[in-house]
Structure 1
Amino acid sequence: MQRYFIDHPSATDRFSIVGEDAKHISKVMRMSVGDQIIVVNNGNAYRTEIDSLEDRVVHVKTIAAIPFSNELPVHVTIACGLPKGDKLELITQKATELGVSEIIPFQAERSIVKWEPSKSTKKLERLNRIAKEAAEQSHRTVIPTIQNVQSFGSLLNREGNDHHLFFAYEEQAKRTDRTSFSEHLRTIDFGQSIFIAFGPEGGFSPNEAQQFIAAGFKPIALGPRILRTETAPLYVLSAISYQFE
């Protein structure tokens, strides 16, 4: 059943779907009055039936609330050093499917690309659209938050209540006495939050690693192999899903 997110509150058992989603329902899916869809509003999912539809607005009425959630039982934020090409789009799509809560792109020492302020808004709009579509496809009730690109310093001084701070460091993978990521996961409880930083192509510099450690982050190895910058976040999210789901 098709799923659509709406971002406006409703005090009744009726919702209105507008804009591109309404057009998708009427023109692409060619739905009609009486067809059913799932509407997600403020983290809650509802099975609804179409009351009326036009090109730019579709009105639906609630049939029943959907009581269960498909969200990860832990809150996961990933911070990604700006990678080349469209890798951040791939990370956004797949990480959303795997249950990430927040994605923060940041400028690392070894990031080759830079986000020009004039293009930042369009890039964020595209990433948010990718996250929304992936959340609908994977039947989530929450669309991940995509932050604007941050500096490395702002990453270290992040405000919040993250319970566990990690950074993926390839030098850690070379150690024979390394602690496996699964061992770290066993120290985490349901409902807690996890913050994990990943470097761009080339990984983190020794200077960045030292600053992470000084700020309370733990270095983690993702197995004995060195993963690509777009693979590492997906490895981590898969491991978290296996541990907690």
Structure 2
Amino acid sequence: MSLPVHLVTSLADVVVGDDVEVTGDEAHHAVAVRRVRAGERLQLTDGAGTLVEGAVRATGKRQLTLTVDDLRRVPRTEPELVVVQALPKGDRGELAVEVLTEVGVARIVPWAAERSVAVWKGERAVKSLARWRSTAREATKQARRSWLAEVDELALTGDVLELIEGADLAVVLHEAETAALADVEVPVAGRLVVVVGPEGGLTDEEVGAFAEAGAVPVRLGAEVLRTSTAGVAACAALLSRTPRWR
């Protein structure tokens, strides 16, 4: 069984033999919730590609000390996956973030689509974004990732168009399309962008604008998936045709 992973602020200057202090909520979760004790082994990551492993030397109420005996620098995986996720209603947004992070998405972009039921404004926007980012952080640890899944600020359609224009491949999931995702040629490197619409579906104007910017409108299959699960299904289908899943 793989070792538990905890996130720390930075491991940039750490070398084998160093002691690393973990404090605050992360240490509290390890010591008080998971009941980690001296002598147990853990992994720590800074979410920026550095992963260290070692034995816990000491613990306190909200701190633990780990002595590093193994250190790895993990490069970013290619191709990079970016998912533009239209705002779902309720807690389905956090579900989408969780499964997308676990499957290996590098960046999640919350999008205010025309037919999005949920609306992020004012204090609600601040709290909702914080929940998405907290979910990505916890899912990063669950998936034993060395790179933290990033969650962007709320995007408008113009921002999504810019993402599409800069992608090596961009697909828009749309159940009314005849072209299948399975038939799209997938690059083995670069950036792949997947656009997922809201519960109410994409408008014709949105699909047309995305296609004009270079995206390929596609369907996943005969079934219509929820907005919170369509993205992970599409990413899995794409990843299965890249070296990342071979």
TM-score, normalised on structure 2?
Answer: 0.89
Counterparts in 2 of 1:102 and 1:67: CA distance versus 1, 3 Å: closer
Distance 1:149 1:136 in 2: 24
Match of 1:8, SS state, is coil
Counterparts in 2 of 1:32 and 1:231: CA distance versus 1, 3 Å: closer
Match of 2:202, SS state, is coil
Structure 2: stretches of 5+ with no match in the other structure: none
Superposition deviation, residue 18 in structure 1:
1.5
Match of 2:136, SS state, is helix
Quick check: 2:186–2:241 contact (8 Å CA) kept in 1?
no
Distance 1:122 1:238 in 2: 29
Deviation readout 1:89-115 (Å, 9 max, x if unpaired): 100011111111111111111112201
Distance 2:164 2:222 in 1: 32
Deviation readout 1:52-75 (Å, 9 max, x if unpaired): 221222221111125777x75320
Greater mean deviation of Cα atoms: 91-100 or 227-236 = 227-236
2:91 corresponding residue in structure 1: 86
Aligned residues: 237
Match of 2:93, SS state, is helix
1:48 corresponding residue in structure 2: 54
Superposition deviation, residue 166 in structure 1:
1.5
After superposing on structure 2, the runs of 4+ consecutive aligned residues of structure 1 that deviate more than 3 Å are: 66-69, 158-161
Superposition deviation, residue 78 in structure 1:
0.5
Q: Residue type matched to 1:209 in 2?
A: V
What is the aligned-residue RMSD (CA, Å)?
Answer: 2.0
Deviation readout 1:179-226 (Å, 9 max, x if unpaired): x31221x3412x321011111012111111111112111111111222
Distance 1:59 1:131 in 2: 25
Quick check: 2:37–2:56 contact (8 Å CA) kept in 1?
yes
Structure 1 residues 51-66: aligned runs within 5 Å: 51-66=57-72
Counterparts in 2 of 1:104 and 1:68: CA distance versus 1, 3 Å: closer
Asked whether 1:15 is paired with 2:17, we answer: no
Structure 1: stretches of 5+ with no match in the other structure: none
Distance 1:136 1:157 in 2: 30
Q: Residue type matched to 1:152 in 2?
A: T
TM-score, normalised on structure 1?
Answer: 0.89
Q: Residue type matched to 2:196 in 1?
A: F
